[in-house]
């Protein structure tokens, strides 16, 4: 029983990180119709900047506050200096452009930080294990679960309950129409792209104490996030959440029961879902 | 005589919205049938149900007396139902000839000849040219389809369907977006080709002049239901149609 | 005789005389370029002619390389047997992957192919007993042309083998592209919905061309292993898949010959950059971003446009 609860919490913590990344990926697709291959690199950037902030300040908490806006601004700059010019082209070109951007960013991080992984200490308050009625569980993972729930709820409320959220949803529905109605579509795109990068950056900071900051964490998370959005359906926040939970669960239980073939479990689940819903659980048929 | 196309209690719901409800109609061979109705009456949905792009939520579709309800769109096309779309749907970066030729090849077969296949290509090109000729597009055969003017693109789409030598041709608003002159020309071509090739046609149309000009019989859809059916003059005189549809135009 | 035939014939003559013109290391570089050219060409079959962007094409190159390495090293078979094995393994694995991936379209297809490729990469990385893990398989020999036949160890001999494979693959691919099947693929690329409504399910077509492209990529990988003497997980990595896409875009999508040239240009740029800095990937990325923004037709497409204008 205790074991089951532990696995469940592990799955939730992993799902939380995946959600922070895949929600942004999905949001960007919904508004810009671009699958941002560089999204994982922004996550990695978040982790490394988190490392730097902790190293400079000696504290973890400032990193959580400072890093996401920095990553977000960088993302917005990248969008408005490159992607903006090729929205009218077939989707391949946007994917390829973001691939080029991913190479540049990944290699730049290697230049700046060197090839070795950087460990990040969790904040003192979250070190060690919490006693959950007899089950000792790492506090930091509990924090991850809570953090992603809070962020998920905030994103959802923002999209559903605010005027800005309404405009974003309008652009997602029909950008030409929204343009006619006076929404500044170009600005909405830049802001959404930046916000999604900030979410990825937040994910990276939050992940760093658990996984360390290392080269290759970007591609590894983007592949998982692709699986998440394929399962959940692109452009749907609910889909990202469901997909994250499914992938988190598949990876956690896979790693526990069949450590050698954990990846295969995830793909088997994805394959099964695709057979019945090729456009994902929450996605819309093209 | 067995109707070429028959629908029995055909219906399709999207969630709570009943787009097409309990439509039963029969089209005889050689007939030119128009389906009219106000915007949102379910005309295009009905076409998707007949051509197999959508599965019905109730009812059946019979073609030459056979139940084809379970067949997907490609299989229905191979049985002899060819169609066009309301928004022009062609292969833009292929030549005009290649557009029609591929249409023939896809239906006639030989599609998995990975090398060679000269015979397949020549035979399909012959039939494609024949159809393009009927629509006056032969002199543009080598041009890219995307470079044709809008009116010619719409004709090309019809020529692709006709090149397949279908038993039943479904035309979804063939004059959509055309100027009055182009509309008249298109109507004339459809009438001529239908006669020459003895085609059975079902056509969805917005332009009432076109409908009363072309159709042998007219079916009127209103909120997804079939409210009247008859010859153009019967429909003109029908009170229900007047209030539901024609009246709205005055 | 059309202009493209004249160009083709000239290229063929040039390929034949190269061993007498080039120095030893230049011939070796050309061999390398041809192998990557074949890889890029195979990707163009699905990307340029069918409109399906695979983000995991490196996996099939890698499968070909591993199969070839094992056949040559552990079974000491002639090189053609290794080539056959590489092409076959790539094709066999592409069958189930393609079956799943072609159920999705557009961007979903790209994501799925990437995901499956990363899965295959992980397998290659972790299955140490067979693949040698992260070290890969080293010391792959260039065996003979056939049992008891002449060896292929000389640069000239191996160059001719590679050139012959590339030319044959190109000729075969050009035939496929012009066949009824190839024409159908282009119609799918142009308008899948129209294709369906004209009487065929596009998925079997996509599956066949996906497997075919994997077979050619596998062949390229199977040549790579004996030429470089090793097979390692690197050649299955996502970066290599992305580089393949770059080669196609640089050369000109949907031209088959263009991507071969694109691969050559790409590798040469990389060679030059890497002689100046170890962080050449930054510059490759930047060059690529510029090409995507400013030269969407690639070299061949741009040349054609200029030719049409002039």
Which residue of B78, B83, B91 is in closest CB contact with C187? B91
Query: Quick one: what percent of chain B has pLDDT higher than 90?
Result: 70
* Chain A residues with CB-CB distance to C189 below 8 A: none
Neighbours of chain A (3+ CB pairs under 8 A): C
Q: Would the CB atoms of C180 and B98 count as touching at under 8 Å?
A: no
Neighbours of chain B (3+ CB pairs under 8 A): C
Of the candidates C61, C24, C52, which has an alpha carbon nearest to the alpha carbon of residue C112? Answer: C52
Q: Would the CB atoms of A227 and C103 count as touching at under 8 Å?
A: no
- pLDDT by residue (tens digit) across A177-190? 677 666 688 888 89
Taking each helix axis from N to C end, the angle separating B96-108 and B118-134, rounded to the nearest 10 degrees, works out to 120
Q: Would the CB atoms of C282 and A35 count as touching at under 8 Å?
A: no
Of the candidates C100, C93, C101, C103, which has an alpha carbon nearest to the alpha carbon of residue C67? Answer: C93
The nearest alpha carbon in chain B to C200 belongs to: B74
Into which CATH architecture does domain C3-309 fall? Orthogonal Bundle (1.10)
Which residue of B73, B110, B160 is in closest CB contact with C196? B73
First to last CA, chain C: 21
Residue C310 has pLDDT above 50, yes or no: no
Count, in order, helices (H) and strands (E) of chain A: 11, 2
Q: Nearest-CA distance from C245 to chain B in Å?
A: 21
Which residue of C114, C288, C292 is in closest CB contact with A226? C114
Pull the structure tokens for residue C195: 């294709």
Greatest Cα pair distance, chain B, in angstroms, is 62
The confidence band for B214, taking pLDDT boundaries of 50, 70 and 90, is confident
CB contacts < 8 A (B, C): 93
The confidence band for C151, taking pLDDT boundaries of 50, 70 and 90, is confident
Which residue of A103, A227, A263 is in closest CB contact with C281? A103
Residue B226, exposed/middle/buried by CB under 10 A (0-12, 13-18, 19+)?
A: buried
Of the candidates B159, C203, C239, B88, which has an alpha carbon nearest to the alpha carbon of residue A103? Answer: C239
ipTM: 0.91
Q: Would the CB atoms of C293 and A86 count as touching at under 8 Å?
A: yes
Cα–Cα distances in angstroms (integers) from residue B121 to residues A116, B97, B110, C83, in the given order? 59, 11, 9, 33
Domains and CATH numbers, chain B: 1-80+167-250 (3.40.50.300), 93-165 (no CATH)
Long-range Cβ contact pairs of B185-189 (< 8 A, separation 24 or more): B185/B151, B186/B151, B186/B154, B186/B155, B187/B213, B187/B214, B189/B134, B189/B135, B189/B136, B189/B155, B189/B158
pLDDT of C183 reads: 96
* Residue-range domain boundaries for chain A: 2-216
> Does B79 contact C at CB distance below 8 Å?
no
Residue C298 has pLDDT above 80, yes or no: no
Pull the structure tokens for residue B73: 């769109």
Q: What angle do CA B16, B22, B27 make, to 5 degrees?
A: 135
> Does A136 contact C at CB distance below 8 Å?
no
Return the H-helix or E-strand segment holding B83.
strand B81-83
The confidence band for C172, taking pLDDT boundaries of 50, 70 and 90, is very high
Q: Quick one: average pLDDT of A74-97?
A: 88
Spatial separation of the C-alpha atoms in residues B192 and B207, rounded to whole Å:
19
- pLDDT by residue (tens digit) across B143-201? 999 999 999 999 999 999 999 999 999 999 998 888 888 888 888 999 999 999 999 99
- pLDDT by residue (tens digit) across B36-76? 888 778 889 999 999 999 999 999 999 999 999 999 999 99
Of the candidates A17, A9, A16, A255, which has an alpha carbon nearest to the alpha carbon of residue A132? Answer: A9
Q: How many CB atoms lie within 10 A of CB C157?
A: 17
- Judged by average pLDDT, the poorest of A193-202, C7-16, C165-174 is C7-16
Pull the structure tokens for residue A83: 């992607």
* Chain B residues with CB-CB distance to C183 below 8 A: 98, 101-102, 105, 121
Q: Nearest-CA distance from C182 to chain B in Å?
A: 7
Residue C296 has pLDDT above 80, yes or no: no
Return the H-helix or E-strand segment holding C225.
helix C202-228
Spatial separation of the C-alpha atoms in residues B119 and C293, rounded to whole Å:
42
CB A11 within 8 A of CB A249: yes
- pLDDT by residue (tens digit) across A226-239? 889 888 888 888 88
pLDDT of C309 reads: 55
Q: Quick one: average pLDDT of A8-19?
A: 91
Residue B89 has pLDDT above 80, yes or no: yes
Query: Mutate which of B81, B102, B158, B167 to disrupt the C interface (most C C-beta within 10 Å)?
Result: B102
What is chain C's mean pLDDT, rounded? 90
Chains A and B contact (Cβ–Cβ under 8 Å for 3 or more pairs): no
* Chain B residues with CB-CB distance to C180 below 8 A: 105, 110-113, 117, 120-121, 124
Q: Quick one: average pLDDT of C168-180?
A: 96
> Does C186 contact B at CB distance below 8 Å?
yes
Residue C275 has pLDDT above 70, yes or no: yes
Spatial separation of the C-alpha atoms in residues A6 and A256, rounded to whole Å:
11
Spatial separation of the C-alpha atoms in residues A36 and C104, rounded to whole Å:
18
Query: Mutate which of B44, B52, B74 to disrupt the C interface (most C C-beta within 10 Å)?
Result: B74
* Chain A residues with CB-CB distance to C284 below 8 A: 103
Query: Quick one: what percent of chain A has pLDDT higher than 70?
Result: 94
Of the candidates B124, B135, B74, B146, which has an alpha carbon nearest to the alpha carbon of residue C183? Answer: B124
Which residue of A100, A263, A274 is in closest CB contact with C103? A274
CB C144 within 8 A of CB C151: yes
pLDDT of C52 reads: 92
CB B104 within 8 A of CB B82: no
Of the candidates C47, C258, C256, C49, which has an alpha carbon nearest to the alpha carbon of residue C170? Answer: C256
Residue A1, exposed/middle/buried by CB under 10 A (0-12, 13-18, 19+)?
A: exposed
What is chain A's mean pLDDT, rounded? 87
Torsion sign over Cα C90, C92, C95, C96: negative
């Amino acid at each position: 029983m205790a074991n089951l609860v532990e696995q469940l919490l592990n799955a939730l913590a992993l799902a939380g990180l995946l959600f922070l990344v895949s929600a942004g990926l999905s949001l960007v697709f919904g508004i810009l119709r671009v699958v941002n291959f560089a999204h994982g690199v922004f996550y990695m950037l978040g982790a490394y900047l988190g490392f730097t902030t902790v190293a400079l300040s000696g504290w973890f908490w400032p990193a959580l506050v400072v890093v996401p806006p920095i990553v977000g601004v960088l993302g917005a700059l990248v969008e408005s200096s490159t992607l903006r010019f090729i929205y009218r082209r077939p989707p391949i070109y946007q994917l390829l452009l973001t691939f080029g951007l991913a190479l540049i960013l990944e290699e730049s991080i290697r230049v700046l930080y060197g090839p070795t992984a950087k460990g990040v200490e969790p904040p003192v308050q979250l070190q060690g294990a919490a006693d959950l009625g007899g089950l000792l569980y790492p506090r930091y993972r509990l924090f991850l679960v809570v953090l992603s729930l809070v962020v998920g709820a905030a994103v959802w409320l923002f999209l559903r309950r605010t005027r800005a959220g309404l405009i974003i949803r309008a652009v997602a529905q029909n950008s030409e129409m929204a343009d006619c109605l006076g929404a500044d579509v170009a600005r909405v795109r830049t802001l959404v792209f930046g916000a999604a990068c900030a979410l990825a950056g937040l994910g990276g900071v939050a992940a760093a104490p658990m996984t360390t900051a290392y080269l290759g964490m970007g591609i590894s998370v983007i592949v998982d996030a692709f699986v998440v959005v394929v399962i959940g359906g692109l452009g749907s926040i609910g889909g990202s959440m469901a997909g994250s939970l499914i992938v988190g669960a598949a990876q956690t239980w896979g790693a526990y029961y069949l450590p050698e073939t954990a990846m295969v479990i995830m793909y088997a689940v994805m394959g099964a879902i695709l057979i019945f819903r090729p456009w994902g659980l929450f996605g819309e048929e093209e | 005589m067995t109707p070429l196309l028959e629908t029995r209690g055909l219906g399709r719901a999207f969630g709570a919205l009943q787009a097409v409800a309990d439509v039963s109609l029969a089209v005889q061979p050689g007939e030119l049938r128009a389906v009219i109705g106000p915007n949102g009456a379910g005309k295009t949905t009905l076409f998707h149900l007949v051509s197999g792009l959508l599965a019905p939520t109730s009812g059946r579709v019979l073609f030459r007396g056979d139940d084809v309800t379970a067949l997907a769109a490609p299989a229905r096309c191979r049985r002899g139902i060819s169609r066009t779309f309301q928004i022009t749907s062609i292969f833009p970066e292929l030549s005009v000839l290649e557009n029609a030729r591929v249409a023939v090849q896809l239906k006639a077969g030989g599609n998995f000849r990975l090398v060679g296949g000269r015979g397949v290509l020549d035979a399909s090109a012959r039939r494609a040219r024949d159809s393009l000729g009927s629509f006056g597009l032969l002199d543009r055969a080598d041009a890219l389809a995307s470079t044709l003017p809008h009116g010619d693109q719409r004709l090309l789409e019809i020529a692709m369907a006709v090149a397949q030598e279908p038993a039943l041709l479904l035309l979804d608003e063939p004059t959509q977006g055309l100027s009055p002159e182009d509309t008249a020309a298109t109507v004339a071509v459809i009438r001529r080709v239908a006669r020459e090739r003895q085609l059975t046609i079902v056509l969805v149309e917005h332009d009432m002049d076109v409908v009363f000009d072309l159709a042998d019989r007219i079916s009127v859809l209103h909120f997804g239901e079939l409210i009247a059916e008859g010859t153009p003059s019967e429909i003109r005189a029908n009170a229900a149609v007047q209030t539901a549809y024609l009246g709205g135009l005055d | 005789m059309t202009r493209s035939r004249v160009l083709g014939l000239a290229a063929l003559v040039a390929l034949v005389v190269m061993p007498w013109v080039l120095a030893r290391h230049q011939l070796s570089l050309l061999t390398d370029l041809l192998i990557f050219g074949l890889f890029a060409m195979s990707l163009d079959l699905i990307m340029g002619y069918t409109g399906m962007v695979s983000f995991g094409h490196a996996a099939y190159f890698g499968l070909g390389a591993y199969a070839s390495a094992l056949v040559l090293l552990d079974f000491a078979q002639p090189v053609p047997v290794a080539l056959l094995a590489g092409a076959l393994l790539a094709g066999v694995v592409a069958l189930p992957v393609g079956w799943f991936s072609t159920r999705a379209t557009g961007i979903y297809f790209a994501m799925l192919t990437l995901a499956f490729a990363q899965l295959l990469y992980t397998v290659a990385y972790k299955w140490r007993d067979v693949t040698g893990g992260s070290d890969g398989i080293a010391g792959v020999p260039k065996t003979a042309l056939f049992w008891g036949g002449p060896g292929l160890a000389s640069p000239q001999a191996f160059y001719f083998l590679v050139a012959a494979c590339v030319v044959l693959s190109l000729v075969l691919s050009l035939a496929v592209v012009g066949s009824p099947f190839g024409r159908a693929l282009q119609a799918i690329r142009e308008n899948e919905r129209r294709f369906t409504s004209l009487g065929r399910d596009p998925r079997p077509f996509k599956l066949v061309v996906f497997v075919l492209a994997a077979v050619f990529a596998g062949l390229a990988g199977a040549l790579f292993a004996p030429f470089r003497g090793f097979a390692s997980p690197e050649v299955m990595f996502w970066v290599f898949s992305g580089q393949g896409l770059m080669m196609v875009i640089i050369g000109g999508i949907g031209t088959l010959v263009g991507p071969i040239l694109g691969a050559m240009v790409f590798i040469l740029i990389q060679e030059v950059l890497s002689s100046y800095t170890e962080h050449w990937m930054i510059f490759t990325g930047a060059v690529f971003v510029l090409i995507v923004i400013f030269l969407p037709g690639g070299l061949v497409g741009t040349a054609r446009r200029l030719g049409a204008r002039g």
